[in-house]
Amino acid sequence: MGTKLVELDHDYAGIAKIIRALHNPVASDPASPQNGEIWLNTTTGTFKYRAANATKVLATMDDVTAGGLSQSLFDAFTILAADVDNTPTALTVGASTVVGRRSTGGIVAVSFANLKADLEALSIAAATLGGSTLANVLARANHTGTQAASTISDFNTAADARVTAGINAVIDAAPGTLDTLNELAAALGDDPNFAATMATSLSLKTEIYTANFGNGALQSFAFSHGFATSNVLVQVFRNADNAEVECGVTITDANTVTVTTVSVPTSNAYRVHIVGRNL
């Protein structure tokens, strides 16, 4: 079967009229548009359509370039923002920043330093921050949570200073040879029962009682030494030349010794030494 060629008179002007009709150019939006209806508002220069019972507007390059936008402005981490109606601009968001508005001005990429300054300016109440003041939160003062020491820049310096201060308070003015527990233990003879040992030693101490005697009348003299023991040593000396004198000695009781002389000593001619020790 052969091929037939058919010549047609292409009326491009007519096609343009058809396309124009599809655009449905009107000076104002239809009063009651139907879902799926499309029209061109010649007054505002915007294409609109009806869908889901709502009128939608199609953006054009004019809407973009009105804000001075071009493809070259959109680098990495760039978003579209508008501080003025119908005037979008490119906004690059840098590292460690958030997008927002400060107390004054438009939409910007806000740094941590900006946020810190704004929060301080707001004087946020302690109740908002869980009982802590803003200054404490920013400085980590009165911190009740857990935080790794390695993340606190001055932790070692502050800890060392506090430990050193505590040690110095304990040492106070102790001499260098007695400013550690080991040195103190050595000074006590490494005796864990030092108090009991000392009490025993004190109970074994030697006591001495001395008194002059003689009155030119008596030959027997009682002396109350108060040692509470009968384990005593009694000696008598002549005061004139410190010569030892033999006398009779009687241990009357645990606190009393009686000395008897052969002759009658003159006033304070003799002296008695009584040495006692608890055994």
What stretches of 79-126 show up as alpha helix (H) in DSSP? 112-122
pLDDT, mean of residues 98-122? 75
User: Which carries the bigger pLDDT value, residue 224 or residue 47?
Assistant: 224
Q: Label residue 18 by pLDDT band (50, 70, 90).
A: low
Distance CA 89, CA 109 (A): 13
pTM: 0.33
Is pLDDT at 113 greater than 80 in this prediction? no
pLDDT digits (tens, 9 = 90+) for 164-200: 888 888 888 888 888 888 888 888 888 989 888 887 7
235 and 277 in contact (C-beta within 8 Å)?
A: no
Block residue for tokens 């004087």: 123
List, in order of start, the domains of the chain with CATH numbers: 12-58 (no CATH), 93-144 (no CATH), 151-194 (no CATH), 203-277 (2.40.10)
Q: Which of 45-49, 71-75, 93-97 has the highest mean pLDDT?
A: 45-49
Is pLDDT at 273 greater than 90 in this prediction? yes
Distance CA 128, CA 49 (A): 48
Residue 160's H or E segment, with its range, is helix 155-171
pLDDT digits (tens, 9 = 90+) for 67-76: 566 666 667 7
So what's the pLDDT on residue 225? 92
Is pLDDT at 220 greater than 90 in this prediction? yes
Cα separation of the two ends of the chain:
150
Is pLDDT at 129 greater than 80 in this prediction? no
So what's the pLDDT on residue 72? 65
